[in-house]
């Protein structure tokens, strides 16, 4: 009971008309109980008690149970109905051998001992008079222990089963980069922790559901347990330590993932609705597929021409958004591919209608193959049609304009040149060179009927007149 008081000293108000009671109680406190007690006041009626209470802070009010001149009920009602912080006990000293206490709680016998333990912990010397209570409680305590041990065992079993089970399910794609290593390690650690914590809660729940179900016809309540501060502190502190530890590991992995290599290959990645362009400034290559040498770090400089996109190759694990806005908004991402093979970069930030299809090949090759590819790319074809095909690929035209007549976001190029085109504003024009140049330079000027006005205006800004001529030459061949 005293453990509930936060201060080390207990402030007591004694209400009795009998000097003997007051003195007896004081000496009991001071000599026999050894509790640090400050007797705030001694009063003989309810009104003066109220006056004292208004002036002083009091933890405990002791009322003489045998005093006929006091109305004990006034006291009880005041403290039971009021704020509830103060405690009141009624004490009877009529029998010289015993003290009779009334706490405002009423306890069944089974709980009395627990209540009384608190009293004892406060180093009082009072003892339980009923020996029978002891035995009953001891047996139920060992029972409680048994439930706890069985459930604990089941937690271990379920954890192991979950970990084994998860091993049978495909959960992560191949890890194909150096950066994937620390990330996957962290994933494994987390899966174990998740399996354990999930089991911990679920097993104790299921165990309760099975074992502590209410028997038919049983209308009685369960044991009255209000809480346990030690337990609460434990299950606040342990998770706190765990999350701090996990954050620390996370930060360490992040540092590892972002470790720069000064000799990294530099590639500019430009995202646009709904395609990717990769530029290798060292070689002057512009490509619509990202070709990378194996085991060599590449640093990607990411920008967008229109809305936000996100660069993600699941096998590499790492991801970074591409922001529009030029220089100030360039972001970097470092990847060291470790497995030769073909992957795909998939835009991971919703970017409009064809977001789902904003995917481009990422090809990891040996250094030798990479050198061959560079040599091929840097040589320019003498055939304008071939060049046109290349530009249409690199600049992302073909992600919206098909070559086979199928309807994508924009009109197909098959049979386009020289055909009659019906525009949204009702005009009909012939698709000649001037029309195609206008459509690239100023995409909003002439919208073909049945198509949305979505072509980015800046596509044309990056294309020289010569390259547009090459593209027209290429379109002419599509019949």
Partner 1 sequence: MKEKVHLFEIGLVRGLIGMTLGVLIGLGLVSGIRALLGLPVWNPEAAWVLAGVFGTIGFMLMVGVMRDWIKWALGEETPDFPETDPRLQGWAKYLSVSYDHKIIGIQYGVTALIVISLAGLFAIIFRTELIAPGIQFLQPQDYNTIMTLHGIVMIGGMLLGVGAMSNYLVPLLIGANDMAFPRLNAFAYWINVPAVILLVGTLFMGGLETGWTGYPPLSSRAPLGTQWFLLGVYFIGFSSIFGALNIIATVMKLRAKGMTYFRMPVFVWTAAATALIALTATQLIGLSFQLVMFERLFGMAFFEPAKGGNPILFQHLFWFYSHPAVYVFVLTGLGVISELLPVFARKPLFGYRWVALSSFGIALVGFLVWAHHMFTSGMEPYLRVPFMYSTLLVAVPTGVKFFSWVATIWEGKLSFETPMLFVLGAISIFLLGGLSGPPNGVVATDLHLQDTYWIVGHFHATMFGGFLFPFLAAIYYWFPKITGRMYNETLGKIHFYMMLPAFYVQSLGQMQVGLLGMRRRIADYDPALQIEFSHLLITVAAYVIGISLIIAFINFAYSAAKGKVVTTNVWRSRSPEWALLPTPIPAHNYPEPIEVVGEPYDYGLEGAVYVRLSSSAPLRETSEPSLPPDTAVASAD
Instruction: Report 187-206 residues binding partner 1 (CB under 8 A).
Output: 187, 190, 193-194, 197-198, 201-202, 204-205
Per CB under 8 A, which of residues 332..391 are in contact with partner 1?
A: 344, 346-357, 359
Smallest separation (angstroms) from partner 1 to the CB of 371: 28
Q: Which of 34, 260, 326, 405 touches partner 1 (CB under 8 A)?
A: 326
Q: Cα–Cα–Cα angle for 244, 248, 252, nearest 5°?
A: 170
Q: The tokens of 29 are what?
A: 């406190």
Smallest separation (angstroms) from partner 1 to the CB of 242: 8
Query: Strands 298-304, 290-293: parallel, antiparallel or unpaired by DSSP?
Result: unpaired
Give the 3-state secondary structure of residue 337: strand
Concatenated DSSP letters for 260-326? --TTPEEEEEEEETTEEEEEETTTTEEESSEEEETTS-EEEEEEESSS-EEEE-GGG--EEEE-BSS
Q: Which of 7, 223, 259, 427 touches partner 1 (CB under 8 A)?
A: 223
Smallest separation (angstroms) from partner 1 to the CB of 326: 7
**Residues 232-251, mask of contacts with partner 1 (x by CB under 8 A):** x--xx--xx-xxx-xx-xxx
Per CB under 8 A, which of residues 72..91 are in contact with partner 1?
A: 72-73, 76-77, 80-84, 90
Which residue intervals of 335-409 are DSSP H helices?
367-378, 384-394
Q: Which of 173, 284, 415, 444 touches partner 1 (CB under 8 A)?
A: 173
* Residue reference for tokens 């009010």: 61
User: By C-beta, is 156 or 353 nearer to partner 1?
Assistant: 353
Per CB under 8 A, which of residues 248..267 are in contact with partner 1?
A: 249-251, 253-254, 257
User: By C-beta, is 103 or 371 nearer to partner 1?
Assistant: 103
Smallest separation (angstroms) from partner 1 to the CB of 192: 12
Of 14-22, 183-191, 374-382, 471-479: span binding partner 1 (CB under 8 A): 183-191
Per CB under 8 A, which of residues 284..323 are in contact with partner 1?
A: 306-308, 310, 312, 314, 317-323
Q: Which of 31, 108, 368, 425 touches partner 1 (CB under 8 A)?
A: 108
Q: Cα–Cα–Cα angle for 162, 165, 169, nearest 5°?
A: 130
Q: The tokens of 397 are what?
A: 């035209």
Q: The tokens of 125 are what?
A: 């010397």
Q: Which of 39, 45, 52, 102 touches partner 1 (CB under 8 A)?
A: 102
Q: Of the candidates 36, 40, 46, 37, which has an alpha carbon nearest to the alpha carbon of residue 15?
A: 46
Q: Cα–Cα–Cα angle for 301, 278, 459, nearest 5°?
A: 105
Per CB under 8 A, which of residues 428..467 are in contact with partner 1?
A: none
- Sign of the Cα torsion 165, 169, 172, 178 reads positive
Which helix (H) or strand (E) is 166 found in, with range?
A: helix 131-167
**Residues 125-164, mask of contacts with partner 1 (x by CB under 8 A):** xxxxxx-------------x--x-----------------
User: By C-beta, is 243 or 434 nearer to partner 1?
Assistant: 243
Of 9-17, 211-219, 290-298, 434-442: span binding partner 1 (CB under 8 A): 211-219
Backbone angles phi, psi at 351, to 5 degrees: -130, 15
Give the 3-state secondary structure of residue 9: coil
Smallest separation (angstroms) from partner 1 to the CB of 225: 6
- CB atoms closer than 10 angstroms to residue 211: 10
Per CB under 8 A, which of residues 28..67 are in contact with partner 1?
A: 28, 32, 65
Please, which residues have CB within 8 angstroms of residue 173's CB and are 6 or more apart in sequence? 314, 315
User: By C-beta, is 219 or 404 nearer to partner 1?
Assistant: 219
Smallest separation (angstroms) from partner 1 to the CB of 64: 13
Residues 237 and 334: their CA atoms lie apart, in Å, by 37
Smallest separation (angstroms) from partner 1 to the CB of 124: 9
State the Rg of the chain over Cα.
41
**103 lines the binding site for partner 1 (CB under 8 A):** yes
CA 8 → CA 11, 71, 282, distances in Å?
10, 31, 75
Smallest separation (angstroms) from partner 1 to the CB of 179: 8
Residues 445 and 169: their CA atoms lie apart, in Å, by 53
User: By C-beta, is 196 or 435 nearer to partner 1?
Assistant: 196
Q: Which of 231, 426, 428, 464 touches partner 1 (CB under 8 A)?
A: 231
Q: Which of 208, 419, 442, 477 touches partner 1 (CB under 8 A)?
A: 208
Of 101-109, 366-374, 412-420, 468-476: span binding partner 1 (CB under 8 A): 101-109
Smallest separation (angstroms) from partner 1 to the CB of 366: 23
Contact 15, 50 (CB under 8 A): no
Smallest separation (angstroms) from partner 1 to the CB of 264: 17
3-state secondary structure 412-477: CCCCCCCCEEEECCCCEEECCHHHHHHHHHCCCCCCECCCCCCCCHHHHHHCCHHHHHHHHHHHHC
Half-sphere exposure at residue 165, Cβ-oriented, CA atoms within 13 angstroms:
7
Contact 298, 283 (CB under 8 A): no
User: By C-beta, is 312 or 391 nearer to partner 1?
Assistant: 312
């Amino acid at each position: 009971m005293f453990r509930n008081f936060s201060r080390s000293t207990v402030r007591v108000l004694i209400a009795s008309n009998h000097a003997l009671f007051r003195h007896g109680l004081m000496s009991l406190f001071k000599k026999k109980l050894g509790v640090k007690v400050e007797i705030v006041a001694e009063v003989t009626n309810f009104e003066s008690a109220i006056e004292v209470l208004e002036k002083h802070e009091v933890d405990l009010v002791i009322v003489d149970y045998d005093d006929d001149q006091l109305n004990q009920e006034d006291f009880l009602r005041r403290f039971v109905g009021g704020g509830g912080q103060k405690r009141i006990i009624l004490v009877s000293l009529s029998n010289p051998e015993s003290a009779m206490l009334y706490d405002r709680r009423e306890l069944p016998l089974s709980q009395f001992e627990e209540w009384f333990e608190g009293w004892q912990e406060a180093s009082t010397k009072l003892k339980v008079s009923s020996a029978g209570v002891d035995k009953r409680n001891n047996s139920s305590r060992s029972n409680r222990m048994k439930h706890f041990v069985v459930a604990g065992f089941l937690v271990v079993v379920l954890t192991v089963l979950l970990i084994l089970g998860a091993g049978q399910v495909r959960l992560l794609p191949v890890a194909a980069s150096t950066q994937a290593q620390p990330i996957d390690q962290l994933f494994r650690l987390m899966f174990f922790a998740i399996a354990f914590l999930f089991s911990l809660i679920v097993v104790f729940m299921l165990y309760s559901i099975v074992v502590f179900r209410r028997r038919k016809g049983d209308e009685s309540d369960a044991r009255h347990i209000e809480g346990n501060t030690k337990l609460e502190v434990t299950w606040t502190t342990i998770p706190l330590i765990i999350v701090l530890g996990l954050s620390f590991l996370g930060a360490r992995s992040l540092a590892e993932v972002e470790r720069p290599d000064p000799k990294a290959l530099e590639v500019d990645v430009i995202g646009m609705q709904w395609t990717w362009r990769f530029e290798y400034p060292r070689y002057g290559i512009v490509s619509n597929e990202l070709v990378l040498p194996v085991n060599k770090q590449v640093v990607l400089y990411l920008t967008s021409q229109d809305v936000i996109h996100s660069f993600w190759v699941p096998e590499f694990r790492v991801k970074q958004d591409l922001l529009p806005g030029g220089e100030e908004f360039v972001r970097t991402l470092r990847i060291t591919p470790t497995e030769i093979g073909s992957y795909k970069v998939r835009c991971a930030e919703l970017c409009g209608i064809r977001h789902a299809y904003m995917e481009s090949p990422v090809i990891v090759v040996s250094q030798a193959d990479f050198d061959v590819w560079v040599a091929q790319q840097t040589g320019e074809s003498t055939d304008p049609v071939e060049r046109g095909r290349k530009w249409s690929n690199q600049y992302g035209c073909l992600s919206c304009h098909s070559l086979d007549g199928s309807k994508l976001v924009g009109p197909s190029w098959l049979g386009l040149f020289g055909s009659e085109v019906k525009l949204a504003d009702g005009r009909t024009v012939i698709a000649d060179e001037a029309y195609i140049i206008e459509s690239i330079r100023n995409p909003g000027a002439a919208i073909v009927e049945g198509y949305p006005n979505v072509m980015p205006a800046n596509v044309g800004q990056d294309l020289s007149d010569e390259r547009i001529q090459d593209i027209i030459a290429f379109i002419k061949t599509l019949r």
